[in-house]
Amino acid sequence: MRIAILLYPGFTALDAIGPYHALAGTPGYEFAFVAEHAGPVSNGGSFTMEAQMGIDEVDMVDVLVVPGGLAAIELAQQGGPLIDWIRSVHPNTQWTTSVCTGALMLGAAGALKDVPATTHWYCMADLAAYGAIPVNERVVEHGKVITAAGVSAGIDMGLLLVSHLAGIDYAQAVQLDMEYDPLPPFQSGHPRTAPAHVTAFVKGMYDQMLGRT
């Protein structure tokens, strides 16, 4: 049984590392990072991870995790080998999951058609464009598809997924091992609670980076 986290240039580090920390030791499953080609994959900054396998070596996975990042928005729009690969493996997975804008890659691969799903708050309209039913929740489960909202929600998704794979007690042990007991210093993690000027600043930043101004 194989768990694979997909990497691509420009992925958001925590989107991959959060679920990895929850999932990597799941009993009965082997784990691999997969990319278009095996080898180092940069997040576009100073952080690089190693993909043990290329997509041409993997024609089936039991659990797929697709992290997000600004690059995921472009990959979803452009299509290409990674989207084709997601489309090919999704029908035979036990679970197909995403974090943040990774949901847009699932959508581009046809995995979210008429499926309730979530993503980063900035990209809810993009998600709807792929035929998904946007749900403003931190983690959304529908059938074998689990999607998580922005970045940190990938940890929540990973723990939920572990509970399905290995049971609630094991998932709780993983959470305790991580000491995942969040108490953020500010209540500004979503537009529903963040000050309006902070939301406007972040939205403007994304608009500029994506050329949407």
d(CA 189, CA 186): 8
Order of strands across the sheet that contains 30-35: 53-54, 30-35, 2-6, 63-66, 95-99, 145-148, 139-142
Q: Which of 119, 109, 100, 99 lies closest to 76 in space, CA to CA?
A: 109
Catalytic residue chosen out of the listed positions 17, 100, 117, 165: 100
CB 64 within 8 A of CB 89: yes
Which tokens in the block code for residue 13? 């580090």
d(CA 161, CA 139): 11
Q: How many other C-beta atoms can be found within 10 angstroms of the C-beta atom of residue 213?
A: 8
d(CA 67, CA 11): 7
Active site residue 123: no
Name the CA dihedral angle for 87, 91, 92, 97, rounded to a multiple of 10 degrees.
70
* Cα torsion angle, 50, 56, 60, 65, sign: positive
User: Would you please indicate which residues are annotated as catalytic (active-site) residues?
Assistant: 100
